[in-house]
Structure formats: C-alpha cells, structure tokens
C-alpha cells in the first residue's frame, strides 16, 4: 500500500553514512523517497528510493519556471525555505501517493508503518512541525497552500525572494509565519506532536529534544540507554530500570550537526548508534548485564568542534 512519497533535494557530497540511511528506507516498503542530487557516488539503491540526477542550477530553473516573480536561491542551504513548495514543484512525481513530504538525510528511519497507519494519516492535512520530517495530504489545494495570504502578507513571497533564511519550512521562534501557521489559519487539520528522536546539538551524549509550543525541551536520559537499528525490528531505544530491560520503538532519529564515523559494515543486520559512531553488534541486549556492557560512547570532539564553529561565527 503506497502511503507517502518524500521529496529530498540534496546537492554536494552526500553524508558518509548515506548508505545506512538508504538501508533504513528499504525497511519501509509503503514509503518512497525521491532523492534529487548531483552526487555521482555509487550506492545500493533500494527499490523504494528513486534517484534523480540533477544539477543545482537545473533545479533552480525548474523552481523558477513555476513562479511569475524572480526567486532567490543562491545556495543549496536556502532550499530549506522551498521545502513546502515541493508538492507543487514536483507534482508530476507524486501522483501515485496519497501523501507527500520532505525529510532530512541526516536521519535513520525506524519502521514508519508502526506509527503512520493509513487510518491515522487520513485524519490530517499536515503532520509534524519540523523540517527534518513533515507530511502533507496530497491534494491540489494542499500543494498550493503555501501561497495563501495570512496576516496581510504572502509569507512565501517574502521567503522566496530573499537570500536570507526565513525558516519557512518549520515552526520556529524565529518565524511566526511558517507553513504550519498557514495551514492552521486556513482551518486545516494539523497533527503537531513531535514523534522524532531529535538529538540535541549539545551535549555530546545523545539527549532527545522535543518541540512544544514553539520551544525545544530537553528530555531526561534513561538509565543505560542505547539506540539500535536492525533490519527487522527497525529503530529502538533500549534502557533499564532497577529490575529489567525495556525498549521503545522510535520513528526515526535525527543526527543534526553530528559528525558520525561508520565503523559498522554497511550491510550489518544490527547497528548501535552512539554519539559519534555507527557500531556493528552481533545480538540485541536481552539482560541488564548485556545492556550495561554495551558501548555507550567514544572519544569525541563534537562539543569542541561546535564551540569553535560558534566562536568563529561571532567574528564573521
């Protein structure tokens, strides 16, 4: 059963763990990913992931042809403001899917079917509020909803005609006129809960951050927690209490600004995800002792790298 087609333009070198992303997509047969890229690197592409070879300039021209005003798209980074337009720009590619969306590729997918049943999806016009995954019901009106006027202005024109980043694709404290606001003000049904395991940029240890009322809230870490992806059960967070081991199924993990080392064989059945590394494992933890002994961290310069990056930005 076809559910959602994700449209993902990406230009430049794909992440070093992109094959692991593709492997996690493969587990989700009812979902499709359309990767528009100029990267010629050889990968093992699952049947449900379509690669479209395209230069950034060709994409810019394709987008420009859809509007009667001059757009500003100087760099691929600016594409974040164009994400809500993809259902309109690539309408010909998503006709067979009742929903479409956009997502980031610094992610590893879990079993999406366990979270996104057809009955659940059909209740909403838009699902989720953050740019690393947003889903829309695929209708003529919804695909043009980004063009609507709200609060006396056309936010999409402001976003698409400026070189500045407007954060048009997601809810943000920086922008009160995002695509989410447009859907809400036009009476559309929006599912707002944050179901991602969105890793906070800091600290180095994986800490989930959840969006609530336009603010990000750090969630408490669980005892002995580890995150494991396997090609049968998907993505899970394992942890312990005083008596036994537990796990939580995760829809996906977002590894924003994480420099990840791939130590695991890319075809491994089971992979542990720690703050700066993908590690191959032979079996899932079934006892507290086994979970306690699993690798939780490695030498990481993540925090120092970020501090240096932020310090440099102050002087630019």
* Residues 34, 40, 43: CA angle, nearest 5 degrees: 65
Rounded Cα distance between 5 and 271, Å, is 26
Per-residue pLDDT, 124? 99
pLDDT digits (tens, 9 = 90+) for 186-225: 999 999 999 999 999 988 889 999 988 888 899 999 999 9
**Measuring CA to CA, which residue among 252, 260, 225 is closest to residue 108?**
252
Task: Give the residue ranges of the chain where pLDDT is below 50.
Answer: 302-304, 306-316
What one-character-per-residue DSSP string does 131-162 give? TTEEEEE--TTGGGGGG--BTTB-HHHHHHT-
CA angle 65, 73, 210 (to 5 degrees): 115
Residue 301: predicted pLDDT? 53
Q: Which two tokens stand for residue 193?
A: 């809960």
Q: Residue 233: what pLDDT?
A: 94
Domains and CATH numbers, the chain: 4-191 (3.90.550), 197-305 (no CATH)
Say if pTM beats, i.e. exceeds, 0.85.
yes
Can you give the pLDDT at residue 310? Answer: 42
C-alpha distances out from residue 188 to 143, 191, 209, 266, 271, Å:
13, 10, 26, 41, 39
Alpha-carbon distance 213 to 229, whole Å? Answer: 30
- What is residue 315's predicted lDDT score, i.e. its pLDDT? 43
pLDDT at 299: 55
Measured between alpha carbons, how far apart are the two ends of the chain, in Å?
Answer: 50
């Amino acid at each position: 059963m076809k559910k959602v087609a994700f449209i993902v333009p990406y230009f430049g070198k794909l992440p070093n763990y992109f094959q692991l992303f593709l492997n996690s997509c493969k587990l989700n047969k009812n979902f499709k990913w359309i990767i528009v890229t100029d990267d010629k690197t050889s990968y093992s592409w699952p049947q449900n992931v379509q690669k479209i070879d395209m230069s950034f300039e060709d994409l810019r021209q394709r987008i420009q042809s859809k509007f009667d005003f001059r757009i500003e798209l100087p760099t691929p980074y600016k594409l974040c403001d164009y994400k809500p337009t993809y259902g309109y720009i690539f309408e010909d590619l998503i006709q067979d899917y009742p929903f479409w969306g956009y997502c980031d590729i610094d992610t590893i997918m879990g079993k999406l079917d366990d979270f996104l049943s057809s009955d659940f999806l059909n209740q909403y016009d838009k699902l989720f509020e953050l740019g690393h995954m947003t889903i829309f019901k695929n209708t003529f009106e919804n695909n043009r909803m980004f063009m609507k006027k709200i609060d006396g202005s056309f936010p999409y024109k402001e976003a698409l005609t400026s070189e500045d980043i407007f954060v048009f694709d997601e809810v943000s404290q920086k922008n009160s006129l995002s695509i989410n606001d447009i859907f809400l003000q036009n009476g559309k049904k929006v599912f707002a809960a944050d179901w991602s395991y969105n890793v906070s940029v800091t600290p180095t240890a994986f800490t989930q951050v959840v969006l609530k009322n336009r603010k990000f809230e750090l969630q408490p870490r669980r005892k002995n927690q580890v995150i494991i992806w396997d090609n049968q059960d998907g993505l899970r967070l394992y942890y312990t209490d005083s008596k036994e081991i537990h796990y939580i199924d995760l829809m996906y993990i977002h590894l924003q600004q994480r420099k990840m080392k791939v130590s695991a064989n890319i075809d491994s059945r089971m992979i542990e995800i720690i703050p700066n590394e993908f590690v191959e494992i032979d079996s899932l933890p079934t006892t507290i002792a086994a979970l306690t002994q699993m690798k939780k961290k490695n030498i990481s310069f993540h925090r120092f790298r970020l501090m240096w990056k932020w310090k440099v930005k102050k002087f630019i």
